[in-house]
Structure 1
Amino acid sequence: MYECKIANRYVGKGHQPFIIAEMSGNHNQSLDHALTIVEAAARAGVDAIKLQTYTADTMTINMNKEEFFINDSNSLWQGQTLYDLYKKAYTPWEWHETIFSKCEQLGMVGFSSPFDVTAVDFLEALNVPAYKIASFENVDIPLIRKVAATGKPVFISTGMATVAVLDEAVQAARSAGCNNLILLKCTSSYPASEIYSNIATIPHLADLFNCEVGLSDHTMGLGVPIASVALGATVIEKHFTMSRTDDGIDSPFSMEPDEMKMLVTEVRKAWRSIGKVSYGPTEGEVSSLQHRRSIYITEDLNAGEMITEKNIRIIRPGNGLEPKYYDILLGKRVKESVKKGTPVTWKMF
């Protein structure tokens, strides 16, 4: 069993799932709105808030060439340039400290996804407790090495990555000093369809790379996260917004506060339900044993009378002999008179 510590939380199978609310650009360029999101996440019961640390200039260059436009009819951001999208979506770096302080005040972990080495240096100055490598950056080996060299826990999302790509990323992280690695199964489409989630990969990833594995989920609803916990996911990450109609950059596929609260509740129920391999009555079932079926006398009998199908029955409650003895009892004679409604015992014969 693996586990690691992130601030005051543990991640591992012996601990309830670590639930991350991803703010992304859903703050709509308002620090007050960002802090409102943090407060709502705390009320929902999540463990952590995650930011994204970049600027438009650290992500791309300001070009109008075709390849710098999003040209995908299925994309929420169809027709925008990459530069304009990131300029709209980025979280101002001067907000980070305020947001992280708010997280700490409300008992949550605050951390971020850096998108270049300058972001790592900035986040190190704020002493973040962990880092996440986004799916689109899981091929950025220099960035992975930079993050891993901090010695802090590292999440790496697996979106689009082949086993070979993941192996390179994992080796880069470990060789650079990462001792606490968590892979997050991810499908990098927005929103994602559950038919492409392939969460059966979760236990395979854990065995293949000998590490904790969780889920970074872009599907709508609770089904995929809950099923992932049953397959061993120890981390659940979901995008979070105050409302899917508030024009946040990722709001259309993000969870609203009531949904996030339900996610926290149901994911933790799912985790508690896994338990261990167990047979026989549990502590909670002991009182139910009396309501099983058993064999009862159903007519008044005099001493010496024979047991027949007319004077015994298999009924509830369960105070008599077990039903498996029914055929053996037929033809036997009672040694004393017995009243109707008496549970059958061997002492009667």
Structure 2
Amino acid sequence: MFDEKCFIIAEVAQAHDASFMLAKSHINVAADAGCDAVKFQIHLPKYESTPDEKFRVPIDGYKTRSEYWERTCFEPEQWKELADYAASKGLVFMASAFSLQAIDMLEEIGVPVWKISSGETSNVPMLHKVGKTGLPVIISTGMSPMKEIEDAVNILKSYDIDVAITQCTTQYPTPPSQVGLNVMNEYKERFGTYVGLSDHSGTIYPAIAAAWEGASVIEVHICMSYQMPGPDMPASLDPEDLKRMVEGVRFAEEMRANPLDKDEKAKEFVDFRKLFFQSIYVKKDIKAGETFSEENLEIRKPCNGIPASQWDDVVGLKAANDIESQTFLKEEHIRKDVS
């Protein structure tokens, strides 16, 4: 799954705001932009939350996050319909689970890859549960120190499955100074896994830069409009920017996959060099035996004579014959026997 091109995930999360049709609309946006997968979040408050869970960003009308999760969660058959709809659009359906029961639901739906969110990195029972399925796992690391990440990765790798670690900063939006693309290479060197970026910057730039750095996975939040309410909107991309981001990632991938040999490429520009490069030009009449100097030579386009790059070699030599001004200097104009 992670070997060919960068696997781009459009994260809807709760941007659908409990509207089933809006959820489908986000799937359309992801497909139109050229993403590989669309991802939601499955919160089952009965198994996941308590009244003590506080909001990261307060939402009007709700006293607890549990109330919010209850309102914005779809029924199992609706999740299945969304998965089927995503498949009909050529997308992999994904969802972050926040309870073991949500994992069970997703197993019944038949997801091909798991996503462990930053808040579940230390959820050992969940790590074992997804590992036992034998499916690939993408794990985000937004709030974890290296030791915690290492423990999670060791659990997952014990099941001999593909693991992708995404650098993530749990800051909405994430400023450039906190994106941390350097961490991707640290993960690759330290854990020997696939690596990527789960970006919360709300811009297209980190994803493109991550692709150039060799990211196997890129995840970004999406929204229908920057004017929409919601806690994730400042960290999301609208349809237009999502499409630009995907185009940029694919552009960066192609550049990375095609290192350039400057010497070989220069061979293609022989005719262009004659047009754009300069050659040595006779600006005053020169008599046979006269010394070439700045007084009688200059540089002009096109390159129809001795190249300007040989200027230092020519100055100080003598003319083999009379040369009229407004002539490109040629090899036959230079005496070979005396300097």
Between 227-236 and 41-50, the greater mean CA deviation after superposition: 227-236
The 2-side partners of 1:106 and 1:300 are apart by 75
Alpha-carbon distance in structure 2 between the residues aligned to 1:191 and 1:252: 6
Q: Which has the larger radius of gyration?
A: 2
Find the counterpart in structure 2 of residue 8 from structure 1. Answer: none
Alignment of 1:168-247 (within 5 A): 168-178=151-161, 180-247=162-229
Q: 1:332 aligns with which of 317, 328, 332?
A: 317
Report what 1:17 is aligned to.
6
Contact 1:296–1:343 under 8 Å retained in 2? yes
Q: Does 1:60 align with 2:49?
A: yes
Alignment of 1:255-266 (within 5 A): 255-266=237-248
Q: 1:289: which partner in 2?
A: 273
Closer, same or farther in 2 for the Cα pair 1:151/1:197, shift >3 Å?
same
Identity among equivalent positions (%) equals 29
- 2:39 aligns with 50
Which amino acid is the alignment partner of residue 230 of structure 1? W
Relative to structure 1, the CA distance from residue 270 to residue 242 in structure 2 (aligned partners, 3 Å threshold; closer, same or farther) is same
How do 1:72-221 and structure 2 match up within 5 A?
75=57, 77=59, 80-178=63-161, 180-221=162-203
SS at match of 2:237: coil
What letter corresponds to residue 315 of structure 2 in structure 1? Answer: L
- Mind listing any 5+ residue stretches in structure 2 that lack a counterpart? 335-339
Q: CA deviation at 1:301?
A: 4.4
Q: How much does 1:205 deviate? A: 0.9
Does the CA contact (< 8 Å) of 2:44 and 2:99 recur in 1? Answer: no
**CA deviation digits over 1:100-130, x for unaligned, max 9?**
2222222222122122222222212222111
- State the one-letter code of the partner of 1:264: V
Report the equivalent of 1:40. Answer: 29
Check conservation: 1:139, 1:169, Cα contact below 8 A: yes
Partner letter of residue 168 of structure 2?
C
- Kindly state the Cα deviation for residue 94 of structure 1 after the two structures are TM-superposed: 2.3
Per-residue displacement from partner, 1:61-119 (whole Å, max 9, x unpaired)?
A: 2x2xxx4333x6xx355984221232244344322222222222222221221222222
Q: Give 1:87's aligned amino acid.
A: E
Q: 3-state DSSP class of the match of 2:13?
A: coil
1:219-239 Cα distance to aligned partner (Å, 9 max, x none) = 121222222223222221111
Against the structure 1 CA distance between its residues 309 and 51, is the aligned structure 2 distance closer, same or farther, given a 3 Å change threshold? same
Q: Distance in 1 between matches of 2:94 and 2:173?
A: 23
The aligned amino acid for 1:118 is Q
Q: Which runs of 5+ in 1 are unaligned?
A: 6-10
1:158 deviates by 0.9
Report the Cα distance in structure 2 between the residues aligned to 1:237 and 1:153, rounded to whole angstroms: 16
The answer to which structure, 1 or 2, has the higher relative contact order (CA under 8 A, 6+ apart) is 1
Per the TM alignment, residue 52 of structure 1 is displaced from its structure 2 partner at its CA by 1.6
Please state if 1:348 is matched with 2:330: no
1:172-226: CA deviation from partner (whole Å, max 9, x where unpaired): 0011342x11001001122222222222111111111101111001112122222
> Which TM-score applies when normalising by structure 2?
0.87
Q: Note if contact 2:204-2:242 (Cα within 8 Å) is conserved in structure 1.
A: no
- Show CA shifts across 1:128-157 (max 9, x none): 111100000000111011112111111000
Q: How many residues are aligned here?
A: 330
- One-letter code aligned to 1:218: H
SS in 1 for 2:67: helix
Q: Give the letter for the 2:217 counterpart.
A: V
Contact 1:217 1:238 in 2 (8 A): yes
SS at match of 1:282: helix
300-309 vs 29-38, which moves further: 300-309
Deviation at 1:18, TM superposition (A): 1.8
- When residues 319 and 133 of structure 1 are mapped into structure 2, their CA distance, relative to the original with a 3 A threshold, is farther
SS at match of 2:90: coil
* Residue from 247, 251, 269 that aligns with 2:251: 269
Is 1:27–1:248's contact at 8 Å kept on the other side of the alignment? no
- Structure 1 residues 298-307 or 127-136, which shifts more? 298-307
SS in 2 for 1:38: helix
Amino acid of the residue matched to residue 229 of structure 2?
A: D
Measure, in 2, the Cα distance between the counterparts of 1:341 and 1:120.
82
- Give the Cα–Cα distance (whole angstroms) in 2 for the partners of residues 340 and 86 of structure 1: 86
**Is 2:127–2:152's contact at 8 Å kept on the other side of the alignment?**
yes
Conserved 8 A contact 2:205-2:245: no
